[in-house]
Amino acid sequence: MVALTVRIDTLDALKVRLALHRELGERIGVYVLSVDHAHGQSILQLQCDRGQVDALMHAVMCGLPQAEFGPLRPAAAITVQ
């Protein structure tokens, strides 16, 4: 499993969630959403199998093209803050 960090505007959190579930369904693993109310941004940490990363990124780009991608890391390296 790997984890991909994605930054979005907080108001778009529902859009990206719907896009992910529509495109990937059960193939997406755990995801964590942390909200920065002061800046109106949210950070998603999305987990999936390494072979699903392209589909995951495609789902995010289709649902929310202005999302910013961060690092791809082993899922074990992700911690909740």
How much is the pTM? 0.73
**pLDDT tens column, 45-75:** 888 889 989 988 988 888 788 889 999 999 8
pLDDT at 79 over 70: no
What stretch of H or E contains 4? strand 2-9
Residue ranges and CATH numbers for the domains of the chain are: 2-76 (3.30.70.100)
**pLDDT tens column, 11-48:** 877 787 787 777 777 777 667 678 888 888 888 888 88
Residues whose CB falls within 8 Å of the CB of residue 57, separated by 6 or more in sequence, listed in order = 4, 69
Query: Per-residue DSSP letters for 8-31?
Result: EEGGGHHHHHHHHHHHHGGG---E
pLDDT at 7 over 80: yes
DSSP 52: G
